[in-house]
């Protein structure tokens, strides 16, 4: 047996030697510029972007071509959905029309597996092992290694099909919050509430004690737009429901981890029922407006922009509802997480790696293509794709300037000059791969704009971080083909039904006493058990030690 095992080991070593990485002779050593000795032409397929005037002449494109010695051409699609549909058609038909590279927001594992099985894209394992120079450098400050991150973009067959992006962002991880109108608290001599019970008492005072001082009972204690009610990020459910059960939509669609490692859907729990009961009470007592079930964002913006302030509390961010120079932007206070029957904690939208670029089988220079993705992950381009050109779109902080998150001890890194959400021709607006650790997002110099609500959010962020509970957050799960079929078959239908019933329960059209059991029964009939089993299997596989 020993001789047999030794022979097997020798054969494996010989096989590994035969499969040694064969570097492209036209490429310089990783980390050396330019990347390509002779110019390499690559075609990139991507969706049109409203923030980018022209990818062909974009400053970031010219820099990639200069540093990498590339000649980049682009194939455009109307949007991400059209791009996916057309690529699927090419994969099913003639793959010769595929560009060398496909870039997007992100690509799911199941989507990439389908393309790989159709022999349309290539695995990138050997390139990550041998060529990920800038990726490793950028990952060095994230607290994760490249291999840690690859866990979340590796397909069940063991292959990595996408060049990933990774953005650590406190603002994205903690975007669930309520805003309360501080002048009303001051007018009524009330303290900022810290518990759910105190919060309800404040809403009662807003309803009954005329805090806007116009002698008319026209105050709306609490209102959100219909899309900010539940089953999305920045929703009322993700804030108030956390008082009763761990609730997070972004990190795996309201699924959470129990202490024994089992996964469960929050929307089928006793805590969810009690949360619904509390919201139903708010609506019955006129503390939450029934308009929350019907108003869209634009209609709520009209209401909140009236000269006389009508709204005491809303969710998301008040900048969605108030004009850019409305002084009330500075008067809505970020409400700290409330303590409820489930305790006091914040749920977390985990920062997770996701594939943002694939290389097709049409590409004649796959290592050069991967090295382009790796270059995009460099610190230089990871900053540029979000903030643009140094000295033009952003500058280094001057002496005395502080970061937006100075209260948390973060040093200033850059001062933005060009606004983010405008059409420009300087950067790629985060199309494709990039890697940024926490220091970038929190290192922006504090805005001098008195109406910027991000500073108010930043000043309360430490409390949200101190209260975060990551033990219940699942994050990305990588599914096999069979598991993905289960997810596709059941999850959206279950979420749609739970969302519909959420509104019906809180407005009283469904009874939490008489209809709850039938609600749970319908969830089971619609496949909740099968959905949970698929998630559990993937979770267990990814967390084996």
- What's the CA gap between 310 and 304, in Å, rounded? 7
The Cα diameter of the chain in Å comes to: 95
Nearest CA among 170, 174, 136, 173 for reference residue 439: 170
Residue 291 neighbours by CB under 8 Å, 6+ apart: 220, 223, 300, 303
Give the pLDDT of residue 18.
42
Q: What is the pLDDT of residues 279-338, one digit of tens each?
A: 999 999 999 999 999 999 999 999 999 999 999 999 977 888 998 889 899 899 999 899
The three-class DSSP label of residue 444 is strand
Region(s) of the chain under CATH 3.40.190.10: 24-169+353-384, 178-347+474-542
Segment 412-416 shows an average pLDDT of 94
| Amino acid 41: pLDDT | 98
Peptide bond into 446 cis (omega under 30): no
For helices 366-376 and 379-387, give the axis angle rounded to 10 degrees: 70
Residue 11 pLDDT exceeds 80 = no
By mean pLDDT, which of 74-83, 91-100, 254-263 is the weakest?
91-100
Question: Residue 95 pLDDT more than 80?
Answer: no
Q: Whole-angstrom Cα distance, residue 453 to residue 434?
A: 26
* 178-347+474-542 homologous superfamily: Periplasmic binding protein-like II (3.40.190.10)
d(CA 416, CA 383): 11
* pLDDT tens digits along 119-140: 999 999 999 999 999 999 999 9
Q: Report the pLDDT value the prediction gives residue 123, as an integer from 0 to 100.
A: 98
Mean pLDDT over the full length of the chain:
92
What percent of the chain has a predicted confidence (pLDDT) above 70?
Answer: 96
Give the pLDDT confidence score for residue 13 in this predicted structure: 37
Could you report the per-residue pLDDT of 233-282, keeping only the tens digit for each? 889 988 999 999 999 998 899 999 999 999 999 999 999 999 999 999 99
What is the DSSP secondary-structure string of 317-369? -GGGTS-TT-GGGGTEEEEPPPBBTTBS-B-------EEEEEEBTT-S-HHHH
CA 201-207-208 angle, to 5 degrees, is 90
* pLDDT over 60 at 80, yes or no: yes
Over residues 466-486, the mean pLDDT reads 93
> Which tens digits make up the pLDDT trace of 344-370?
999 999 999 999 999 999 999 999 999
pLDDT band at 517 (very low <50, low <70, confident <90, very high): very high
Give 168-177 pLDDT, tens digit per residue: 999 899 988 9
- Beta strands 220-222 and 311-315 are parallel
- 520: which residues sit within 8 A by CB, 6+ positions away? 268
For residues 263 and 474, the answer to whether their CB atoms sit within 8 Å is: yes
Cβ atoms 253, 243 nearer than 8 A: no
pLDDT in tens, 424-461: 999 999 999 999 999 998 999 987 777 778 778 888 99
Determine the pLDDT at residue 9. 40
Closest CA to 303 of 313, 293, 311, 294: 311
pLDDT at 19 over 70: no
Beta bridge partners of 500: none
The mean pLDDT value for 474-500 works out to: 95
DSSP-based three-state secondary structure for 14: helix
Q: Is 3 helix (H, G, I), strand (E, B) or coil?
A: helix
> pLDDT band at 545, cuts 50/70/90?
low
Burial class (CB within 10 angstroms; exposed 0-12, middle 13-18, buried 19+) of 36:
buried
Residue 451: phi, psi to the nearest 5? -100, 5
Reply yes or no on whether the pLDDT at 483 is more than 80.
Answer: yes
Q: In the 8-state DSSP scheme, what is residue 470? A: -
Mean pLDDT of 204-212: 98
Task: Give the 3-state secondary structure of residue 36.
Answer: strand
3 state SS of 9: helix
pLDDT of 210 > 50? The answer is: yes
CATH of 24-169+353-384, one of 3.40.190.10, 3.10.450.50, 1.10.3720.10, 3.40.50.300: 3.40.190.10
- Look at strands 332-335 and 178-181 and give their pairing: antiparallel
The answer to whether 373 touches 431, Cβ cutoff 8 Å, is no
Q: Residue 121 — φ and ψ, nearest 5°?
A: -130, 160
Residue corresponding to tokens 């029934």: 290
Band of residue 150 on the pLDDT scale cut at 50, 70, 90: very high
Question: What are the backbone dihedrals phi and psi of residue 490, each rounded to the nearest 5 degrees, phi first?
Answer: -115, -35
Q: What is the pTM assigned to this prediction?
A: 0.90
Using CA atoms, how far apart are residues 153 and 163, in angstroms rounded to an integer? Answer: 9
93 has a pLDDT exceeding 80: no
């Amino acid at each position: 047996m020993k001789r047999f095992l030794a022979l097997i080991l020798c054969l494996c070593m010989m096989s590994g030697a035969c499969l040694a990485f064969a570097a492209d002779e036209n490429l310089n050593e990783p980390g050396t510029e330019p990347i390509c000795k002779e110019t390499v032409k690559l075609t990139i397929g991507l969706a049109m972007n409203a923030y980018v005037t022209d990818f062909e002449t974009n400053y970031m494109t010219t820099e990639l071509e200069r540093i990498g010695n590339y000649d980049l051409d682009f194939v455009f699609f109307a949007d991400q959905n059209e791009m996916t549909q057309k690529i699927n058609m090419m994969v099913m038909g003639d793959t010769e029309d595929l560009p060398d590279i496909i870039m997007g927001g992100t690509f799911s594992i199941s989507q990439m597996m389908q393309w790989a099985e159709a022999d349309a894209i290539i695995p990138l394992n050997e390139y990550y092992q041998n060529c990920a120079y800038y990726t490793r450098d950028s990952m060095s400050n994230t607290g994760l290694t490249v291999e840690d991150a690859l866990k979340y973009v590796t397909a069940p067959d063991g292959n990595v099909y996408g060049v990933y992006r990774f953005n650590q962002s406190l603002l994205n991880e903690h975007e669930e919050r309520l805003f309360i109108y501080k002048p009303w608290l001051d007018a009524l001599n009330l303290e900022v509430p810290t518990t759910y019970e105190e919060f309800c008492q404040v809403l009662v005072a807003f309803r009954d004690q005329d805090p806007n001082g116009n002698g008319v009972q026209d105050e709306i204690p609490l209102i959100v737009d219909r899309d900010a009610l539940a089953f999305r990020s920045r929703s009322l459910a993700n804030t108030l429901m956390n008082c009763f059960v761990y609730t997070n939509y972004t990190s795996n669609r309201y699924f959470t981890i129990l202490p024994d490692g089992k996964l469960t859907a929050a929307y089928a729990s006793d805590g969810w029922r009690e949360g619904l009961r509390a919201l139903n009470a708010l609506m019955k007592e006129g503390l939450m407006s029934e308009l929350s079930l019907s108003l869209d964002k634009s209609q709520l913006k009209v209401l909140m922009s009236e000269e006389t302030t009508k709204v005491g509390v809303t969710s998301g961010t008040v900048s969605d509802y108030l004009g850019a120079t409305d002084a009330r932007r500075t008067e809505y206070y970020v409400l700290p997480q409330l303590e409820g029957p489930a305790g006091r904690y914040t749920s977390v939208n985990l920062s997770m790696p996701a594939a943002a670029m694939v290389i097709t089988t049409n590409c004649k220079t796959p290592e050069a293509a991967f090295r382009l993705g790796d270059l995009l992950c460099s610190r230089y381009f990871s900053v540029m794709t979000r903030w643009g050109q140094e000295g033009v779109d952003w500058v280094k902080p001057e002496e005395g300037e502080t970061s937006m998150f100075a209260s948390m001890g973060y040093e200033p890194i850059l001062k933005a000059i060009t606004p983010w959400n405008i059409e420009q021709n300087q950067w790629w607006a985060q199309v494709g791969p990039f890697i940024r650790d926490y220091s970038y997002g929190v290192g922006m110099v504090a805005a001098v704009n008195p109406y910027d609500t991000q500073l108010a959010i930043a000043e309360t962020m430490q409390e949200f971080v101190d209260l975060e509970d990551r033990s219940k957050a699942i994050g990305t799960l990588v599914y096999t083909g069979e598991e993905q079929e289960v997810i596709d078959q059941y999850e959206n239908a279950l979420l749609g039904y739970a969302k519909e019933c959420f509104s019906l329960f809180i407005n009283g059209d469904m009874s939490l006493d008489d209809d709850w059991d039938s609600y749970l029964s319908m969830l089971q009939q619609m496949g909740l058990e099968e959905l949970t089993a698929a998630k559990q299997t993937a979770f267990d596989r990814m967390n084996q030690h």
